[in-house]
Amino acid sequence: DSGVTQTPKHLITATGQRVTLRCSPRSGDLSVYWYQQSLDQGLQFLIQYYNGEERAKGNILERFSAQQFPDLHSELNLSSLELGDSALYFCASSVAAGTGANEQFFGPGTRLTVL
Amino acid sequence: AQKVTQAQTEISVVEKEDVTLDCVYETRDTTYYLFWYKQPPSGELVFLIRRNSFDEQNEISGRYSWNFQKSTSSFNFTITASQVVDSAVYFCALSGIITQGGSEKLVFGKGTKLTVNP
């Protein structure tokens, strides 16, 4: 158990819908990262937050947004869902930001299926 | 741009065999970090090791060992006396440092699926 929690574990929804994925980092970790794992794209970085502020952005679609709250939990919002958004979404956390040295600990993931 | 290549898509071995998973990386950062993660069939990503670009010493942890060679931009992972429980997808990853213009995001390879048969 990495200490990172993600809810829900599974999510099945229809095209055009909007969903919210939630992540609670390990106690004491200030950085939260979101990654998408799909068969064709592999593991791709989406976005990073550090202590409530956006730190880095990857290949995140405009239909997707995220935020980190004062209690450090984070939410990833996916809207106007398409079939191609079906994937495993991981949240990871690390102690701090700036060095790249801190290993990222991953949550169990949320499997999103868009029908 | 950073890139990680794991040329071996799938490897199948028999229990007790040694197996090496290859990882080659590209980066323009002078300081960077390399990682290995394991993804068992249950799906979670498990951190195995972190190595910084200044430390080329090989590392051994039980049946696992890692060989980092900066000259060939490789960070290979060897499992000695493999066991069925080692069956998983293994990912090599690379990150930079923000203070040196890099990014802390992990850039992953495509992964190597290892199957250890009894």
Q: Which residues of B touch A106 (CB under 8 A)?
A: 37, 44-47
Distance from CA of B28 to the nearest CA of A (A): 15
Give the contacts of A62 (CB within 8 A, at least 6 positions apart): none
pLDDT tens by residue, B20-41: 999 999 998 888 899 999 999 9
Angstroms from A96 CA to nearest CA on chain B:
10
Q: How far is CA B98 from CA A47, A50, A74, in A?
A: 14, 12, 21
Q: How many CB atoms lie within 10 A of CB A103?
A: 18
Residue B87 has pLDDT above 70, yes or no: yes
Residues forming a β-bridge with B78:
B20, B65
pLDDT of residue A103: 85
Instruction: Collect all residues of chain A within an 8 Å Cβ-Cβ radius of residue B52.
Output: 101
Is the previous residue joined to B41 through a cis bond, with omega within 30 degrees of 0?
A: no
Would you place residue B101 in the very low, low, confident or very high pLDDT band (cuts 50, 70, 90)?
low
pLDDT at residue A99 in the model? 61
Which chain A residue's Cα is nearest to B44?
A: A108
Contact between A113 and A8 (Cβ < 8 Å): no
Range with the poorest average pLDDT among A4-13, A66-75, B49-58, B81-90:
B49-58
